[in-house]
A = this chain, B = another copy of it.
Amino acid sequence: MADSIKLNNDFKGKDIISLNQFSPEDITTLFTHTNLMKNIAKNAQSSDILKGNIITLIFYESSSRTFGSFSAAMKQLGGQTVEIQNPQEFSSVSKGETLEDTIRVFEAYSDAIVIRHPQIGTALKAADAASFVPIINAGDGIGEHPTQALLDLYTIYEKYQRLGNLTVVFAGDILNGRTIHSLLKGLSLYKNNKIYLLSPKELRLDPHELSKFIKQGLYIMEIETEKEIPKNADIWYWTRVQKERFASLKDYDKVKNRYIVTKDFLKKYAGKETMLMHPLPRVGEIHREVDTDERAVYLSTEIRNGMYIRMALLGLILGKL
């Protein structure tokens, strides 16, 4: 299964389904190329690295950010896209065509297929169906979204030039946050990371997950109040606490204003170098007044890094880097 196929520092033609496929060495290779991509894009150099290549973006679920990021990444390198959005409303798929047949069709048109789907496991199913071209998972429901995790790791790496020996605070919905789980997985590959999970009791990490990470040697501390946030953390990774997750409104009311990042909150609890990340979209859990703070990277840096990571990944998988 592609899910567990290690990359072994050779990306060409490989499916990208899960962060589990990446070793620290693979990540280093990807990031080295990402640095190059950043230079190409920043200098508005016109690149023809992927000239003659076509990829299909097939999105069964809309996601303007991820869709736009892959589309732009391909075009930044001179490549082209075939773009299919919501094919379940398209005739063939709506007529009952299987995912497998749909994948076989689009692999005939393109050199790789980027798939987004609301159902967990679909990217792997697509990879099994494809005979000739690699599949890239752009998010499969509560499953994985490996390029999101990689852009988060790259953003950290870019600032600190390391992925170990870091103090990281995750806040918000630790239980359900797909991006948090993926990033924890990534950080567990490196040594001496200290993780703090800030959340109401109701939204703590699943105990099985927690003990799995601890067994892997990750230092994890669960905290509940802002006062327990360690001074001078290297990274804050913020997410939203959704009302719907709470059994009673009273429980929600207790915490709802607790994890809202304002200028004042930042001043009290963050360090001078603490990098403030967020996977987006945000809906109020970080105030707009914070956006101009130099430590805030969720808009701008993270978004751009997402495009650079995808440029590098596409270039490597298509064998052009």
Contacts and interface: CB of A to CB of B under 8 A. Distances in A.
Interface residues of A, number: 57
- In this complex, the member of A283, A288, A299 whose beta carbon has the largest number of chain B beta carbons within 10 angstroms is A299
A91 B62 CA distance: 6
Contacts of A84: 64, 67-68
A282 B92 CA distance: 9
Interface in A19-77: 44-47, 51-54, 56, 61-65, 67-69, 71-72, 75-76
B82 A56 contact: no
A89 interface: yes
A96 B283 CA distance: 6
5 nearest A-B pairs in the assembled complex, by CB-CB distance: A46-B52, A72-B109, A97-B281, A108-B303, A62-B90
Interface of A: 44-47, 51-54, 56, 61-65, 67-69, 71-72, 75-76, 80, 82-84, 87, 89-97, 100-102, 104-106, 108-111, 131, 280-283, 288, 299-300, 303-304, 306-307
Given A68-B82, A104-B303, 14 more contacts: A44-B53, A44-B111, A47-B52, A64-B93, A65-B105, A72-B110, A83-B83, A92-B280, A95-B283, A97-B282, A100-B288, A101-B280, A101-B299, A105-B303
